[in-house]
Amino acid sequence: MSLSTLLHCLRGRTHQPKRGAEFVDALEKTQGPLPSTLQRCAEAKSEQTATVVENSAVWETLLAMQRQSYVQTAVWIVAQLADGLQRAHDRSVLHRDIKPSNVLIGADGQPLLLDFNVSEDTKCDPSEASIGDTIAYMAPEQLKAMLECTADRVRQHARDIVRPLRS
């Protein structure tokens, strides 16, 4: 499920979320019932038994989210995305289209960054870089550069049209 869909689900509530459990509830509503493993993990942890629960590591994130505040959960998700972006940057890749609909939240609560179609290899010649992004999420300086580039292209195109007319 995309982060965008989850946020839309949370915005539809009558109150501002306060607990991470509300994020997990929204995840369950948008993805369907979470496996009973989550409940078994919670029971095993609360009983402090040595019970080995299948796939418990997978559900550890959801259990942690349930215990945190909504703000702590949101900060954790952003930190995970920042780590992923840093790994991409360490490999000379700029994503260039970060937005909620390009973040998938797995059934285990892990955020995954998607859609690297307009990403750029920073090792390449900057003059060959294309302008591509979602306008609503562009940084102001990037939008300004795109508009200036477009204006220059329009002026050049107009000159190319007018020149033959003058001859």
Question: CA Rg, the chain, in Å?
Answer: 23
In whole angstroms, what is the distance from residue 5 CA to residue 107 CA?
14
Q: What is the pLDDT of residues 51-94, one digit of tens each?
A: 444 456 667 888 888 899 999 999 999 999 999 989 988 988 88
Contacting residues for 112 by C-beta, under 8 A, at least 6 apart: 84, 103, 104, 105, 106
2 touches 111 (CB < 8 A):
no
pLDDT for 165 equals 64
Q: Where are the domains of the chain?
A: 3-130
pLDDT in tens, 13-60: 888 889 998 888 888 887 766 654 455 455 555 554 444 444 566 678
Q: Is residue 8 over pLDDT 50?
A: yes
Residues 6+ apart with CB under 8 A from 120: 93, 94, 96, 129, 130
pLDDT at residue number 50 = 42
- Dihedral through CA 59, CA 63, CA 66, CA 69, nearest 10? -110
Q: What is the mean pLDDT of residues 149-153?
A: 69
Q: What is the pLDDT of residues 32-42, one digit of tens each?
A: 666 544 554 55
Q: pLDDT tens-digit profile of 103-138?
A: 988 888 889 888 777 766 667 766 565 656 677 777
Q: What is the 3-state secondary structure (H, E, C) of the chain?
A: CEHHHHHHHHHCCCCCCCEHHHHHHHHHHHHCCCCCHHHHHHHHHHHCCCCCCCCHHHHHHHHHHHHCEHHHHHHHHHHHHHHHHHHHHHCCEECCCCCHHHEEECCCCCEEECCCCCCEECCCCHHHCCCCCCHHHCCHHHHHHHHHHHHHHHHHHHHHHHHHHHC
Whether pLDDT at 161 is above 90: no
